[in-house]
Structure 1
Amino acid sequence: MPHHRSCRNEDTCCNLKDGNKDGLVNLSEKTCSCMKFQVDKLSCRHALAAIRYAKKPFRDFCGDCYKTTSWLEAYSGNIFPVWHPSEWNIPQDV
Protein backbone atom coordinates (compact mmCIF):
# COMPACT_ATOMS: atom_id res chain seq x y z
CA MET A 1 0.00 0.00 0.00
CA PRO A 2 1.19 3.55 -0.61
CA HIS A 3 2.99 4.91 2.43
CA HIS A 4 2.37 8.66 2.19
CA ARG A 5 -0.75 10.57 1.34
CA SER A 6 -1.74 14.19 1.16
CA CYS A 7 -5.43 14.84 0.70
CA ARG A 8 -7.04 18.11 -0.25
CA ASN A 9 -10.53 16.83 0.38
CA GLU A 10 -11.24 13.24 1.36
CA ASP A 11 -14.24 13.18 -0.98
CA THR A 12 -12.26 14.43 -3.95
CA CYS A 13 -8.49 14.12 -4.39
CA CYS A 14 -5.61 12.32 -2.76
CA ASN A 15 -1.99 12.32 -3.87
CA LEU A 16 -0.43 9.03 -2.77
CA LYS A 17 3.33 8.53 -2.77
CA ASP A 18 4.38 4.98 -3.57
CA GLY A 19 8.02 5.11 -4.63
CA ASN A 20 8.16 5.35 -8.43
CA LYS A 21 4.44 4.72 -8.86
CA ASP A 22 2.71 7.69 -7.27
CA GLY A 23 -1.01 8.10 -7.82
CA LEU A 24 -3.36 11.06 -7.88
CA VAL A 25 -6.79 9.69 -6.95
CA ASN A 26 -10.13 11.42 -7.42
CA LEU A 27 -12.71 9.36 -5.54
CA SER A 28 -15.74 11.31 -6.72
CA GLU A 29 -14.77 10.67 -10.37
CA LYS A 30 -13.35 7.20 -9.66
CA THR A 31 -10.06 7.96 -11.38
CA CYS A 32 -6.36 7.54 -10.67
CA SER A 33 -3.36 8.82 -12.59
CA CYS A 34 -2.10 5.22 -12.92
CA MET A 35 -5.25 4.59 -15.05
CA LYS A 36 -6.04 1.17 -13.51
CA PHE A 37 -9.00 2.51 -11.51
CA GLN A 38 -10.91 3.81 -14.53
CA VAL A 39 -9.84 1.10 -17.01
CA ASP A 40 -10.52 -1.99 -14.87
CA LYS A 41 -13.43 -0.45 -12.91
CA LEU A 42 -11.71 -1.89 -9.83
CA SER A 43 -9.82 0.07 -7.21
CA CYS A 44 -6.06 0.19 -7.79
CA ARG A 45 -3.66 0.22 -4.84
CA HIS A 46 -3.73 4.03 -4.73
CA ALA A 47 -7.54 4.14 -4.75
CA LEU A 48 -7.72 1.46 -2.04
CA ALA A 49 -5.49 3.57 0.19
CA ALA A 50 -7.56 6.70 -0.50
CA ILE A 51 -10.84 4.84 0.13
CA ARG A 52 -9.49 3.46 3.41
CA TYR A 53 -8.28 6.93 4.42
CA ALA A 54 -11.71 8.41 3.60
CA LYS A 55 -13.38 5.59 5.62
CA LYS A 56 -15.74 4.75 2.77
CA PRO A 57 -17.04 1.30 1.79
CA PHE A 58 -14.83 -0.38 -0.82
CA ARG A 59 -17.86 -1.83 -2.64
CA ASP A 60 -18.96 1.68 -3.62
CA PHE A 61 -15.89 2.02 -5.84
CA CYS A 62 -16.06 -1.06 -8.04
CA GLY A 63 -17.84 -1.27 -11.38
CA ASP A 64 -21.36 -2.65 -11.51
CA CYS A 65 -20.17 -5.56 -13.65
CA TYR A 66 -18.38 -6.99 -10.58
CA LYS A 67 -21.39 -6.80 -8.28
CA THR A 68 -23.56 -9.80 -7.43
CA THR A 69 -26.71 -8.13 -8.75
CA SER A 70 -25.16 -7.83 -12.22
CA TRP A 71 -24.05 -11.46 -12.25
CA LEU A 72 -27.48 -12.63 -11.13
CA GLU A 73 -29.15 -10.56 -13.83
CA ALA A 74 -26.75 -11.77 -16.51
CA TYR A 75 -27.53 -15.41 -15.77
CA SER A 76 -31.22 -15.06 -14.88
CA GLY A 77 -32.51 -16.04 -18.32
CA ASN A 78 -31.98 -19.12 -20.43
CA ILE A 79 -28.51 -19.91 -21.66
CA PHE A 80 -28.52 -22.05 -24.77
CA PRO A 81 -25.60 -24.29 -25.70
CA VAL A 82 -23.46 -23.53 -28.73
CA TRP A 83 -23.07 -26.68 -30.78
CA HIS A 84 -19.99 -27.84 -32.63
CA PRO A 85 -19.19 -25.62 -35.67
CA SER A 86 -19.84 -28.57 -38.00
CA GLU A 87 -23.50 -28.44 -36.91
CA TRP A 88 -23.96 -24.70 -37.52
CA ASN A 89 -26.41 -23.57 -40.17
CA ILE A 90 -24.60 -20.63 -41.79
CA PRO A 91 -26.53 -18.67 -44.45
CA GLN A 92 -24.82 -18.38 -47.85
CA ASP A 93 -24.83 -14.56 -47.80
CA VAL A 94 -22.72 -14.36 -44.64
Structure 2
Amino acid sequence: MFDNGLEMSCSCQKFDLVKISCEHAMAALRAKYGDGEDYGKSIYDYSSPIYKAESYLLVYSEAINMVPPEAEWTVPQESVDIKISPPLYDPKLERKKVKRTKGVGDTFKSKRRN
Protein backbone atom coordinates (compact mmCIF):
# COMPACT_ATOMS: atom_id res chain seq x y z
CA MET A 1 0.00 0.00 0.00
CA PHE A 2 1.29 3.45 -0.74
CA ASP A 3 0.19 6.97 0.08
CA ASN A 4 1.18 9.52 -2.52
CA GLY A 5 -0.52 12.41 -0.73
CA LEU A 6 -3.65 12.24 -2.88
CA GLU A 7 -4.78 8.64 -2.63
CA MET A 8 -3.99 5.38 -0.90
CA SER A 9 -4.05 2.14 -2.82
CA CYS A 10 -2.51 -1.31 -3.00
CA SER A 11 -2.18 -3.84 -5.78
CA CYS A 12 -4.56 -6.19 -3.91
CA GLN A 13 -7.27 -3.47 -4.20
CA LYS A 14 -8.73 -4.23 -0.76
CA PHE A 15 -8.49 -0.59 0.31
CA ASP A 16 -10.28 0.42 -2.90
CA LEU A 17 -13.20 -1.87 -1.98
CA VAL A 18 -13.68 -1.57 1.79
CA LYS A 19 -11.50 1.46 2.68
CA ILE A 20 -9.65 -0.50 5.38
CA SER A 21 -5.91 -1.07 5.28
CA CYS A 22 -5.01 -4.45 3.81
CA GLU A 23 -2.66 -6.97 5.39
CA HIS A 24 0.19 -5.62 3.24
CA ALA A 25 -0.23 -2.14 4.72
CA MET A 26 -0.57 -3.57 8.22
CA ALA A 27 2.73 -5.46 7.81
CA ALA A 28 4.44 -2.29 6.57
CA LEU A 29 3.06 -0.29 9.52
CA ARG A 30 4.18 -2.97 11.98
CA ALA A 31 7.67 -2.93 10.42
CA LYS A 32 7.77 0.87 10.73
CA TYR A 33 6.26 1.30 14.21
CA GLY A 34 6.67 -2.12 15.87
CA ASP A 35 3.90 -3.39 18.13
CA GLY A 36 3.86 -0.27 20.30
CA GLU A 37 1.20 2.37 20.80
CA ASP A 38 2.21 4.24 17.64
CA TYR A 39 1.28 1.18 15.57
CA GLY A 40 -2.25 1.16 16.98
CA LYS A 41 -2.72 4.87 16.29
CA SER A 42 -1.25 4.71 12.78
CA ILE A 43 -3.85 2.15 11.65
CA TYR A 44 -6.53 4.84 11.69
CA ASP A 45 -4.34 7.18 9.64
CA TYR A 46 -4.30 4.59 6.85
CA SER A 47 -8.03 3.80 6.88
CA SER A 48 -10.96 5.78 5.63
CA PRO A 49 -12.33 8.46 8.01
CA ILE A 50 -15.73 6.73 7.86
CA TYR A 51 -14.44 4.15 10.37
CA LYS A 52 -13.51 6.73 13.01
CA ALA A 53 -15.68 7.16 16.11
CA GLU A 54 -16.42 10.80 15.25
CA SER A 55 -17.93 9.81 11.89
CA TYR A 56 -20.00 7.07 13.50
CA LEU A 57 -21.40 9.44 16.11
CA LEU A 58 -22.12 12.09 13.48
CA VAL A 59 -24.08 9.66 11.31
CA TYR A 60 -26.26 8.45 14.17
CA SER A 61 -26.67 11.83 15.89
CA GLU A 62 -30.06 12.44 14.25
CA ALA A 63 -33.17 10.38 14.88
CA ILE A 64 -33.87 7.49 12.53
CA ASN A 65 -37.55 7.17 11.63
CA MET A 66 -39.03 3.71 11.69
CA VAL A 67 -41.06 2.40 8.76
CA PRO A 68 -44.69 1.85 9.78
CA PRO A 69 -46.33 -1.59 9.37
CA GLU A 70 -47.35 -2.42 5.79
CA ALA A 71 -51.05 -2.22 6.71
CA GLU A 72 -50.63 1.51 7.44
CA TRP A 73 -48.95 2.40 4.13
CA THR A 74 -50.73 4.77 1.78
CA VAL A 75 -49.89 3.73 -1.78
CA PRO A 76 -51.20 5.79 -4.73
CA GLN A 77 -53.63 3.88 -6.94
CA GLU A 78 -51.53 4.46 -10.09
CA SER A 79 -48.66 2.60 -8.40
CA VAL A 80 -50.97 -0.28 -7.49
CA ASP A 81 -52.27 -0.54 -11.07
CA ILE A 82 -48.83 -0.84 -12.69
CA LYS A 83 -48.22 -4.29 -14.15
CA ILE A 84 -44.59 -5.35 -13.71
CA SER A 85 -43.46 -8.18 -15.97
CA PRO A 86 -40.77 -10.64 -14.94
CA PRO A 87 -37.39 -10.28 -16.64
CA LEU A 88 -36.87 -11.98 -19.98
CA TYR A 89 -35.62 -15.56 -19.68
CA ASP A 90 -32.89 -16.90 -21.92
CA PRO A 91 -32.62 -20.71 -21.69
CA LYS A 92 -29.11 -20.57 -23.21
CA LEU A 93 -27.86 -18.95 -20.00
CA GLU A 94 -29.07 -21.88 -17.91
CA ARG A 95 -26.52 -24.11 -16.21
CA LYS A 96 -25.55 -27.06 -18.37
CA LYS A 97 -26.44 -30.48 -17.02
CA VAL A 98 -23.44 -32.79 -16.81
CA LYS A 99 -23.82 -36.55 -16.57
CA ARG A 100 -22.16 -37.90 -13.47
CA THR A 101 -19.85 -40.86 -13.86
CA LYS A 102 -20.20 -43.65 -11.33
CA GLY A 103 -17.48 -43.86 -8.74
CA VAL A 104 -15.85 -47.05 -7.45
CA GLY A 105 -18.10 -47.25 -4.38
CA ASP A 106 -21.36 -46.52 -6.24
CA THR A 107 -23.68 -49.42 -6.90
CA PHE A 108 -25.20 -49.98 -10.28
CA LYS A 109 -28.96 -49.53 -10.40
CA SER A 110 -30.85 -50.52 -13.48
CA LYS A 111 -33.28 -48.01 -14.95
CA ARG A 112 -35.55 -50.82 -16.09
CA ARG A 113 -38.29 -52.01 -13.85
CA ASN A 114 -39.20 -55.67 -13.54
How much has 1:67 moved relative to structure 2? 1.1
Cα root mean square deviation, aligned: 1.8
How much has 1:89 moved relative to structure 2? 1.6
Of Structure 1 and Structure 2, the greater strand share is in 1
Distance (Å, rounded) in 2 between the aligned partners of 1:93 and 1:63:
44
Distance (Å, rounded) in 1 between the aligned partners of 2:75 and 2:46:
43
Q: Calculate the TM-score normalised by the size of structure 2.
A: 0.53
Identity, % of aligned positions:
39
Q: 1:93 to 1:70 in 2, by over 3 A?
A: farther
Residues 33-58 of structure 1: CA deviation (Å, up to 9, x unaligned): 01102211001101111222333611
**Structure 2: gaps (5+ residues):** 34-38, 80-114
Q: 1:53 to 1:84 in 2, by over 3 A?
A: same
Alignment of 1:47 with 2:25, yes or no, is yes
How much has 1:83 moved relative to structure 2? 1.4
Give the match's secondary structure for 1:80. Answer: coil
How much has 1:93 moved relative to structure 2? 4.4
How many residues align structurally? 70
Q: Calculate the TM-score normalised by the size of structure 1.
A: 0.62
Counterpart in the other structure of 1:65: 50
Letter in 1 for 2:45: D
Of Structure 1 and Structure 2, the greater helix share is in 2
Counterpart in the other structure of 1:37: 15
Decide which structure has the larger Cα Rg and report it.
2
**Structure 1: gaps (5+ residues):** 1-24
Distance (Å, rounded) in 1 between the aligned partners of 2:49 and 2:76:
37
